[in-house]
Amino acid sequence: MPDHARPAPSADPSSSPASDTWHALSTGEVQQQLQSEPAGLGDAEVQRRRALHGPNRLAPPRRRGPLLRFVLQFHNILLYVMLGAAAITALLGHWVDTGVLLAAVVVNAIIGFIQEGKAESALEAIRSMLSPHATVLRGGRRLDIDAAELVPGDRVLLASGDRVPADLRLVEVRELRVDEAALTGESLPVDKDTLAVAADAPLGDRSGMAYSGTLVVYGQATGIVVATGSRTELGQINRMLEGIGTLSTPLLRQIDRFGRYLALTILVLAAATFVLGVLWRGHAPAEMFMMVVALAASAIPEGLPAIMTVTLALGVQRMARRHAIVRRLPAVETLGSVTVICSDKTGTLTRNEMTVRRMVSAGLDVDVAGVGYEPVGDFSIGSSVIDTDRHPSVSLALRAGVLCNDAQLREDKGQWQVVGDPTEGALLVLGQKAGFTQHIGSAEWPRLDSIPFESQHRFMATWHRDADGQSWIFVKGAPERLLDICGFERGDEGERPIDVDTWRRMANDTAAKGLRLLGLACKRAEPAGARLGFSDVEHGFTMLGLVGIVDPPREEAVRAVAECHQAGIRVKMITGDHAETARAIGAQLAIGVGKPALTGAEVALMDDAALRRVAMEVDVFARASPEHKLRLVQALQADGQVVAMTGDGVNDAPALKRADVGVAMGQKGTEAAKEASDVVLANDNFATIAAAVREGRAVYDNLKKFILFMLPTNGGEALVVIAAILFELTLPLTPAQILWINMVTSSTLGLALAFEPAEDGLMRRRPRPPGESLLSGFFVWRVLMVSVLMMTGALGLFLWELSNGTSLETARTMAVNAIVVAEMFYLLNSRHVLASVLNREGLTGNHVALWAIAACVPLQLAFTHLPVMQGIFGSTDLDTVEWFKVLAAGLLVFSVAELEKFFIRRTPIAGRLAAV
């Protein structure tokens, strides 16, 4: 072994830094370096090392208190403008205006506080993965201690069911299997031994190591602690999480940018208006300031935060019905802007149910239909379905798979489940498809003895007696191991000498398809002694067949991947499995077809620039560690992509947190993965992600429709105020009346657009560019056009009434109602950006819009006719003729907006505008 592969020597071995190469050292070298004796450390040495290394625990996460979270809700430039206006109106004694402004600010802050939701808990979830107890040898005594007391050099004893309490180098192993899925993504438990491996071996291939937080599912072992606390692999993930800040979503970035530009525009416009009014028109500063406050109030979209929250919340409800639980509201819309989905393989794209797809015996190549644990499916050769009972070689191989087996297949409420090793479960399902169940096998072929599977022997053997009293020994295991003990092969014609080269060629061909291989063999003989021993499994066996096993893709995932591709979204598969398995499954899902798979080891050799180039070209990544997954997400984001990441293990948590949308599995996901994510899938199904993307796009559509509805309202009010100032007219709208329109009627009506159903062709659009402006040039034109129409209707009606001798209060009341009625009509226009609403679907397709208009009518009647409202807002009663005039102003906006859509639909750019 090269010197650079070993940990650096130290005067104090126990203080050596955590090394990535303990797996590359022999057990003797590890014991020598850590000065770990077979009897364990003494008490004095334990105390010294604990003082040096600290406790075996992770630092608690930093939390932000609720008061600070609430105060930070006011950190918004639009709210600053409103607070400033409220302060000055209070100094001028306009208490009604002050109260309405402050109410708007506080309501928005409360909504933001609720929206932020649950505090970050991913770090706490990782800490909970640490084992609370550990069994150690110290001073020759076996002790059960708090796992936090472990130190490097301690000897830890592991047994089935234990959670590994620290990173251990295994020195004694007895049939140990460890579930490392949470740390490595490996879908099956891993067999462990004491052998050293290459220094650059991926985490999942370090068979001589047991890592903190993983679970012992079978066997026993003794290991030496080589890393504790933050220096474990789990601790490194914890540190990675601490260093990852939560990214803002595309929508929030757009809203923030939009808010800044809007606030700057409002301030500049207000300042210019104030200066012109005072210096040019000679108005009193106090009077002019109230006009400027009215202008600012008319331009600020007070209802935007509330409507955005409600729209996102409705998206949350719709996603929940599709089994996607949203933990953070902005993630709803972010899903709609995703350009790349990085998906875990096992259980998300696949069923997480091992299935035999191919059987090979001497002279026969059999395809097996059916997927998952439900024992339904035919056996076929080519295109012809066969009866396995007519093929003795296949029938006997099926029997061997069921008899030489420790798993159980159960049905519970129509759901088939495997108890035990998933690979053995696949053999039980295979036998039951042919009619040979475990119950039949136990009755007709009782087991007399067995040799359990051990990694060093790589096979399992069982001894049975059939109904005729004949003794049989069945063996299953690695094909190359079984070929060593087989002298014969079984065909339909009987036994014959084995053709080893043909079997190896068939094994390679099956493995190349991404299938896991198991060999099945038998010998009709009695054991040499009273029990089955290893000497009975050395030679004389007959090769029965090979089975190819795979975790098959979900059928709905295949369709969902195709839908994502159609929507312009790249799907990348990142898994802890081996490259060939990953590439084969990817090909079945139409992911990375014809492209090589990239391994974690290859990713580790690339710098960030090289990885950024490769990340978009390669679609299948295998043997990926937490660092590799995080770097891949960062590389894609650096390329300008909006990334959704799915995962279930603690190894996925850093990438889940870093991604624009982290999607965790709800059924088999760890708490660390769920807490680091934005969305949790209740059914662990990739198809749910595709459905959630569709909902996210619909949410964004509805938000843009709301903005397209809201801005002309604000723009029309602002133009009314500006015109009044420039032409020295009496102010048509007071600040309080403007806030009534914005906070009550506009928000009530605009809320209806959150309930708009998704438009056809939503998933045939390309993803919108991440840097896209919230307002396109076309949207600006639409806002200006409708703003002018609303100003024309309201200001024209106001001036007409004044010229006819109507009182100022009545003219203002008519102006307010003209804007609100125009909003009611324009709400219907806004249901479709370009399509006409002059049809049944356009007018009645959104029942909530009709209810919103119906709710707004009594609000305006109360504003106009209730004495208490007249006292607050300065409104007066209107007669029937005046109401008809108000209605005509609203119809003006509706008619011209529909005419504009009619002409634009007939232009060549209509298709491009429809996707804006």
Tokens of 636: 């894609």
Return left, alpha or beta for 609; rule: phi > 0 is left, psi -120 to 50 is alpha, else beta: alpha
| 361: β partners | 364
Rounded CA-CA distance 878/813 in Å is 8
Max CA pair span of the chain: 120
| 379 contacts 385 by C-beta, under 8 angstroms | yes
**In the chain, how many H helices and how many E strands?**
34, 28
Rounded CA-CA distance 308/747 in Å is 11
Rounded CA-CA distance 392/396 in Å is 6
Whole-angstrom Cα Rg for the chain: 36
Rounded CA-CA distance 617/641 in Å is 13
Alpha helices in 128-247, H assignment, sequence order: 181-184, 233-242
Residue (of 823, 701, 843, 695) closest to 750 by Cα position: 823
Residue (of 892, 644, 911) closest to 792 by Cα position: 892
First to last CA, the chain: 61
List b or e across 37-47, with b for residues whose CB sees 16 or more CB atoms inside 10 angstroms.
Answer: eeebbeeebbe
DSSP string, 462-481: EEEE-TTS-EEEEEEE-HHH
Alpha helices in 54-200, H assignment, sequence order: 66-72, 77-91, 95-116, 122-127, 181-184
DSSP label of 525: -
Rounded CA-CA distance 225/137 in Å is 12
Active site residue 466: no
Residue (of 215, 124, 61) closest to 674 by Cα position: 124
Which positions ≥6 away from 215 have C-beta within 8 Å? 161, 162, 163, 164, 178, 179, 182
- Apex CA 181: angle with CA 179 and CA 183, to 5°? 105
Tokens of 161: 């069911």
| 191: β partners | 177
Rounded CA-CA distance 244/653 in Å is 11
DSSP string, 707-719: HHHHHHHHHHHHH
Rounded CA-CA distance 906/912 in Å is 12
What are the CA-CA distances from residue 33 to residues 232, 478, 766 (Å)? 18, 36, 58
On the 0-12 / 13-18 / 19+ scale of CB atoms within 10 A, 465 is: middle
Residue in 344, 551, 660, 684 annotated catalytic:
344
Count the Cβ atoms, other than its own, within 10 Å of residue 212.
Answer: 27
**Three-state secondary-structure class, residue 667:** coil
CA atoms 597, 600, 604, 607: torsion sign: positive
Tokens of 768: 């919108």
DSSP string, 599-623: EHHHHHTS-HHHHHHHHTT--EEES
Rounded CA-CA distance 241/673 in Å is 11
Known catalytic residues?
344
